[in-house]
Structures are given as C-alpha cells and as structure tokens.
C-alpha cells in the first residue's frame, strides 16, 4: 500500500522517463531471449555392498574359548571342571567261590568188650585123656598150632584200625605150669589171613594169669577170629597130680580197646570232629578293619556221613553290630544238603593280619550222633562238604594297606563349540593342565585317557595321563599334571580342533606299603585346562564369507536401465593381521550362485600382511561395463567375499586381540536426469 502511494506521487515527466527506459531495454534484448526450458543434470548414486570390520577381540567375545593372554596374544583356552567322582561301591572285592571238604578223619569205635575161648588139658596134651581122673605124674609136653575160635564180636564186622591195641590174657587152669615162650597167632577165621602174633616170655604157673598186648595200628580186625597156640610145659616135675582132661585147661581172653578207626562196619558212638580253613580274598587290600556296605555269604553244606550231625560254623573275621562273631548252628541228617545265606550289610570285617594276602577264616565243629547200637559202614573219608560263595562284598570304610586297588572312573563327556572358520588352523604349541584334587587318604596312580573328537571330520586323538597323585591330608590335596609338546601329544589333540572331550580310565589306589583309611564317600575331583596360543603355522587355503543381501530401490533400477552413464566398483581393505591374502567380491542375482557362478566378480585384490602390528590399506576401483551394471537392475542382489590365503609358508604367525581386518565395498553409478522425459 505504501509502495502504491509512493508510485502515485511520481510526476508525469518522471513516469514517462521510466516507461521509456524499460521499453528500450526490452526492445534491445528481444533478439537473444529464448523460450524457457526445464534444467537437466547428472546424478551420482552409491550402492553399499559390504562394510565390515572384523576385530579379533570381537570374535573372542563370541566364544568362551578365546582369551587374551600375555602381551595381548590370543589363546584358545578350554577349562572344564568335571563332576566329583565318589568311590561309592568301588571299594569291593572280587566274587569268590570255593569248595572245602571237612573229612571225618579217624574216628572212635567203642571197645567190643572181652571175648574168651578155652582149651582143655586133653586138647593141649591128648595122652591125658587116657589118664582122666587119675593122679599120676605128667612129664613135659609141647603143643603146636592148637586152634581155638574166639566168639564172634557182635559190635562190629570189620575195623581198619588207625590206632588201638589188643590185650590177650592166658588164664592157666592146668595143674602144670606153661613154659615161657607161649605164642598166640590170630587169624581171620574166614580167610585164614594172619592178623597178629603175641609171645608170652614168662612161665605161667598153675592158677595164675599172664597178659601181653599187641599194637593194632594199620591192622584190619574182623569180627571172626581164630587163635593158634604154640608152646609147652615142663610137666609136673615127677609129682603126681590129679588129671582132669576135660575140665582143666587154659582160657584166652581178648580185649580190644582205644580203637581209632580208618574204616569200620561197626557200632559207632557219638563224637565230635572240627576243622579250620580260609578263603583267599586277594592281595590288593590288607585290611585291619573294614565296615561292610554290602555282601552276601552263600553256604551250601552237605552231610556225607551216614549219621546225623549238628554243625557249628564260625565265620571268624565277621562281626555283627554287637561285636559278636558270626556263628551258624546247622543240624544235618545223614546225606542231607542245606543252604544258608548271610547278608553282611552292617557287619564289620576284622581279619587276622597277614603280610602277604587277605584271607577270611572260618572254623567248624561237627557233633556226630551215634548209630544207636546199629552197625554202619563208616570211613575217615566221610565228612561234610562246604561250598562257600562270597559275592558283592563292598566296604564303606577300610583301614589298612591298599596295593593298587583298581577303581574304575565314571566316563565324562563334554561338548563345546570353537569359533567358525578355524578348521584349517594348525597349532605349534599347546599345554594341558590336569588338576586332580585327591580326597582319598592314599596315593593314587591314574591311568586317565583324555580323548578329543572332531565330529565333523571324524578325527580323534588321545592323551594319556599317568602320574602318582599325593594322598589327602586332612582334606583334598591338589596335584597338577602338566602335559606339553615335550612329554605328550597334546598338540595333536588340539590340532584336530575337537568339539567333544571325553575323559575315561581308572585309578589304582595305594602303594602297597602305606597304611591309611579310605571311605566310600572319598572322592576325586578333576579340572582339565587346555591352552594353545594362536601362534600358528597356517596352510594355504580359500575361505568365503557369509552372503549379504541388498534390495535395490525400484526408481534406481529404472535409472540404471535407462539413464546410466557409467559405473564403477570401489573396494577398500584395512588389514592388521599378520597374513597376506587375495580378496575377490562376488555379486549375483541368485543367492545359490554367489560363489559358484556369479554374474559379477571383482578382484582379486592383493592385500599385504600386516607388519609389526601396523595397518595395511589397499584399494581397488574397477569400471563396470553395461552388462555388469545390469546386474544391479535386479530388485535383490547377493554379495559375498572370497579370500585366498597363501599361508604362512611354515612360519609361525601370532595373533593378538587387537588384530582386525576391515572391508568396505560399494558400487557408484552416474546417470543423467532429464525432467522432460517421463
């Protein structure tokens, strides 16, 4: 409004001058002014293809098994604490089964009493038969093998005597003496076999007796015995004597006594026999005292004596909770077999000390009942058969000396994942530390197998650990076993890059001389610690990255098809790892053919190895043809990176936590913009 007012105040001459001036100006310019048109220009578009910076420290954050060691050096570090292994029922004895025979041995047979037989004067000196009833002198005479049968013994038929004796007594009922040298020979009445002979070395006067004994050891005495007498008499010495040819004579008394028999068909009286024996339990445990966690005694007893008996069986080294020795009372009929079981849980074992081996002792007493007046056939070989079976004997506590007691460890298996992309690495050094906390009061000698398994390749490698472990001393005592390249194949195990570790094996407990205490609750704990610095000799190899996917804007696709002027691909790499490589970029419209059959491959770009931790920069720029640019007109493209590593040529390469490699790649296009075109 103000401007309008101002214009209205201009005077006419002034207005005319202004209009004229503008007119002249327009006329003068009319020859150069064209019709107005829309502007045109060129546009530069960059399409990112890859922008990665891989820091080794970041890889370490992705796994528990890469750590920064001394001076920043990267180490593979695997540590696993395995479950505590308690001895449990490992304190046990091997099952035992042994048979014993307790023989009756020599046995007693009761004395059959006195058996008597007589000879008349007439039998001994037949001429007296004609003088019977007369009183006349009798001259000297002799007799030879005059047979007389003893009455049969009723209490036996035959006895093979181990020890015993027979006493023969001659009662002289003759009116004349018997001269010294009377001999008596005993024979089996049925076989006429000689049994024994006895001589009387003194005169036997009328009305007196004389006794001589014979040892029957080794002699079989039959029930039917005949005796043969040989001897003589000086007669009446010229004195007349009364002759009673049929009533006067001699009597022979036989008394068998103190019979201990080997075999007999006889009446047997009640008697006892006893014995002891032992069962060997091995020499790995020399036990002073043990508390039993479990075990079963199986006793099978057979009475092979043709008489009933009662057996007291004492297990001398086993004690019940009250401290009493274990005793069984077992009645057995003749020919009977019986089985008894003893559950040993809660019992204690206190064996007699033996410096060489562990044995359990038992003893028995058998009371054999008599034959009740009946004749039976009995032999010293008859007896009691004992079959002893001891199974599942285990201890909750043992005091004594252990000598390489075998304890099998429970197998342990642990799986873990190592970082991707290290499957071709080869380690130069490695170290395994096995720490064993021994909670057992004895030294142990492990035979432990640590096996690494690579399930992808099927490879496996084993490390053997065998070194004496110190005993517990009031608490678990740790022992560290170190294995490295100098004393094991731990490097071989690490180089298969295992994803599974198995620990198996067993231990031997005790050194055979040290005394101690071991309990089922004693334990072994173990920690496996494997380290390997990334100081590697790397073979030549090719590796590929993951495939990245990019979506191309539809407008950009159209411009690239219709208006693109040029294109180029730019790749920049920053390397701080001590390995050189050749890097290629692959672009494809199909994710399955990025590396197998890409439409566009850029490179290879040679990247030098980092020296002394410095960064090496490399850049590649490639002009793209129309055909190569056409790849980017797809709605979706797939990009991957491949690298060829020529390796370290046997040299050891070290990796540090701050090592990295960075890759930045993008495509740059210029296309023309013309607004008049649709």
Check residue 173 and give left, alpha or beta (phi > 0: left; psi -120 to 50: alpha).
Answer: alpha
CA distance 165 to 161: 9
**Residue 344 tokens, joined:** 């040993």
Average pLDDT score, the chain? 83
DSSP class per residue in 37-78: ----EEEEEEEEEEEEEEEHHHHHHT-TTEEE-GGGBEEEEE
Task: Please name the residue ranges forming H helices in 188-228.
Answer: none
DSSP secondary structure code for residue 21 in this structure? H
Mean pLDDT of 473-497: 86
Tens digits of residue pLDDT in 100-112? 888 888 889 999 9
Give me the half-sphere count of Cα atoms (radius 13 Å) on the Cβ side of residue 383.
18
Q: Do domains 48-57+539-673 and 66-90+402-536 have the same CATH topology?
A: yes
CA distance 11 to 20: 15
Q: Is the pLDDT of residue 3 over 60?
A: no
Architecture in CATH for domain 48-57+539-673? Sandwich (2.60)
Pick the CATH number of 111-267 from 2.60.120, 3.30.160, 3.30.70, 1.10.10: 2.60.120
Phi, psi of 540 (to 5 degrees): -65, 145
**Residue 406 tokens, joined:** 């075998």
Q: Model confidence at 430, in pLDDT bands (50, 70, 90)? A: confident
The pTM score is 0.59
Please state which of the ranges 220-234, 416-430, 460-474 shows the lowest mean pLDDT.
Answer: 416-430
CB contact at 8 A, 196 and 117: no
Q: Is the pLDDT of residue 5 over 50?
A: no
Say which residue, 663 or 161, is predicted with more confidence: 161
Please state which of the ranges 87-91, 407-411, 431-435, 536-540 shows the lowest mean pLDDT.
Answer: 536-540
Extended beta strands in 431-563, E state: 431-438, 444-454, 459-465, 477-484, 500-519, 523-533, 535-536, 541-544, 548-551
CA distance 417 to 496: 13
Please state which of the ranges 66-70, 278-282, 513-517 shows the lowest mean pLDDT.
Answer: 66-70
The reported pLDDT for the residue numbered 25 is 31
Please state which of the ranges 312-326, 422-436, 609-623 shows the lowest mean pLDDT.
Answer: 422-436
Tens digits of residue pLDDT in 256-308? 999 999 999 999 999 998 888 888 887 777 888 999 999 999 999 999 999 99
- The C-alpha angle 37, 42, 45, rounded to 5 degrees, equals 140
Tens digits of residue pLDDT in 339-370? 999 999 999 999 887 777 888 888 999 999 99
CA distance 319 to 316: 8
CA distance 346 to 329: 21
Mean pLDDT of 397-414: 82
Nearest residue to 188 via CA among 218, 154, 149, 236 = 149
Mean pLDDT of 67-73: 71
Phi, psi of 52 (to 5 degrees): -130, 140
Q: Model confidence at 12, in pLDDT bands (50, 70, 90)? A: very low
The reported pLDDT for the residue numbered 33 is 38
Task: Please name the residue ranges forming H helices in 384-533.
Answer: 490-495
Mean pLDDT of 185-197: 95
Mean pLDDT of 633-662: 76
CA distance 488 to 507: 19
Task: Please name the residue ranges forming H helices in 401-441.
Answer: none
Say which residue, 397 or 559, is predicted with more confidence: 397
Architecture in CATH for domain 66-90+402-536? Sandwich (2.60)
CA distance 413 to 418: 16
Q: Model confidence at 52, in pLDDT bands (50, 70, 90)? A: confident
SS3 2: helix
DSSP secondary structure code for residue 595 in this structure? T
**Residue 549 tokens, joined:** 């996917």
Instruction: Collect all residues with Cβ–Cβ distance below 8 Å to 266 and sequence separation of at least 6.
Output: 109, 155, 156, 157, 158, 159, 375, 376, 378
Domain ranges of the chain: 48-57+539-673, 66-90+402-536, 96-101+283-365+383-401, 111-267
Q: Model confidence at 157, in pLDDT bands (50, 70, 90)? A: very high
Extended beta strands in 140-219, E state: 141-149, 156-172, 182-188, 194-200, 209-215
Long-range contacts of 672-677 (CB under 8 A, 24+ apart): 672/40, 672/41, 672/42, 672/43, 672/563, 672/565, 673/40, 673/41, 673/42, 673/43, 673/563, 674/40, 674/563, 675/38, 675/39, 675/40, 676/37, 676/38, 676/40
DSSP secondary structure code for residue 421 in this structure? T
The reported pLDDT for the residue numbered 39 is 62
């Amino acid at each position: 409004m103000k401007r309008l007012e101002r214009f209205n105040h201009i005077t006419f001459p002034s207005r005319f001058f202004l209009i004229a001036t503008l007119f002249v100006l327009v006329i003068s310019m009319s020859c150069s002014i064209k019709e107005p048109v829309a502007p045109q220009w060129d546009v530069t578009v960059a399409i990112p293809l890859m922008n990665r910076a891989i820091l080794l420290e970041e890889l370490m954050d992705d796994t528990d098994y890469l750590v920064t060691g001394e001076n920043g050096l990267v180490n593979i570090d695997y540590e696993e604490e395995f479950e505590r292994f308690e001895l449990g029922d490992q304190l046990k004895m091997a099952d035992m089964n042994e048979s014993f025979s307790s023989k009756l041995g020599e046995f007693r047979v009761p004395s059959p009493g006195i058996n008597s037989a007589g000879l008349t004067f007439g039998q001994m000196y037949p001429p007296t038969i004609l003088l019977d009833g007369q009183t006349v002198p009798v001259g000297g005479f002799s007799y030879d093998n005059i047979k007389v049968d003893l009455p049969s013994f009723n209490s036996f038929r035959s006895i093979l005597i181990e020890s015993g004796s027979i006493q023969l007594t001659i009662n002289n009922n003759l009116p004349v003496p018997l001269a010294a040298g009377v001999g008596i020979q005993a024979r089996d009445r049925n076989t006429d076999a000689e049994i024994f002979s006895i001589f009387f070395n003194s005169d036997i006067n009328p009305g007196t007796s004389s006794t001589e004994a014979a040892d029957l050891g080794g002699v079989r005495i039959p029930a039917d015995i005949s005796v043969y007498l040989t001897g003589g008499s000086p007669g009446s010495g010229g004195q007349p004597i009364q002759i009673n040819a049929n009533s006067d004579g001699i009597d022979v008394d036989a008394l068998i006594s103190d019979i201990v028999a080997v075999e007999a068909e006889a009446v047997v009286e009640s008697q006892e026999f006893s014995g002891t024996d032992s069962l060997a339990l091995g020499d790995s445990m020399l036990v002073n005292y043990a508390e039993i966690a479990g075990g079963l005694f199986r006793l099978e007893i057979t009475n092979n004596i043709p008489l009933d008996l009662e057996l007291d069986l004492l297990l001398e080294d086993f004690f019940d909770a009250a401290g009493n020795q274990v005793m069984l009372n077992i009645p057995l009929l003749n020919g009977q077999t019986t089985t008894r079981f003893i559950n040993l849980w809660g019992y204690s074992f206190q064996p007699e000390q033996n410096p060489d081996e562990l044995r359990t002792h038992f003893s028995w007493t058998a009371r054999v009942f008599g034959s009740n007046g009946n004749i039976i056939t009995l032999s010293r070989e008859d007896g009691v058969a004992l079959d002893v079976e001891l199974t599942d004997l285990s201890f909750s506590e043992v005091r004594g000396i252990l000598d390489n007691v075998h304890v099998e460890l429970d197998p342990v298996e642990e799986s873990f994942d190592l970082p991707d992309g290290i499957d071709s690495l080869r380690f130069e050094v490695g170290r395994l530390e096995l720490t064993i906390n021994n909670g057992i009061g004895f030294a142990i000698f492990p035979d432990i197998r640590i096996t690494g398994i690579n399930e992808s390749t099927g490879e496996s490698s084993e490390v053997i650990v065998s070194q004496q472990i110190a005993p517990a001393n009031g608490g678990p005592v740790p022992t560290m076993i170190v294995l490295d390249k100098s004393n094991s194949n731990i490097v071989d195990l690490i180089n298969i890059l295992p994803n599974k570790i198995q620990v198996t094996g067993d231990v031997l407990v005790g050194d055979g001389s040290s005394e101690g205490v071991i309990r089922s609750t004693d334990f072994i704990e173990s920690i496996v610690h494997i380290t390997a610095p990334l100081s590697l000799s790397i073979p030549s190899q090719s590796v590929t990255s993951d495939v990245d996917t990019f979506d191309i804007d539809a407008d950009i696709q159209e411009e690239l098809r219709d208006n693109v002027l040029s294109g180029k691909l730019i790749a920049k790499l920053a390397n701080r790892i001590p390995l050189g490589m050749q890097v290629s970029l692959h672009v494809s419209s199909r994710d399955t053919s990025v590396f197998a059959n890409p439409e566009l491959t850029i490179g290879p770009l040679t990247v030098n190895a980092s020296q002394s931790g410095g960064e090496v920069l490399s850049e590649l720029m490639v002009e793209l043809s129309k055909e190569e640019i056409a790849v980017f007109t797809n709605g979706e493209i797939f990009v991957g990176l491949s690298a060829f590593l020529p390796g370290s040529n046997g040299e050891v390469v070290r990796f540090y936590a701050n090592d990295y490699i960075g890759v930045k790649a993008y495509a740059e296009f210029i296309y023309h913009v013309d607004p008049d075109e649709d």
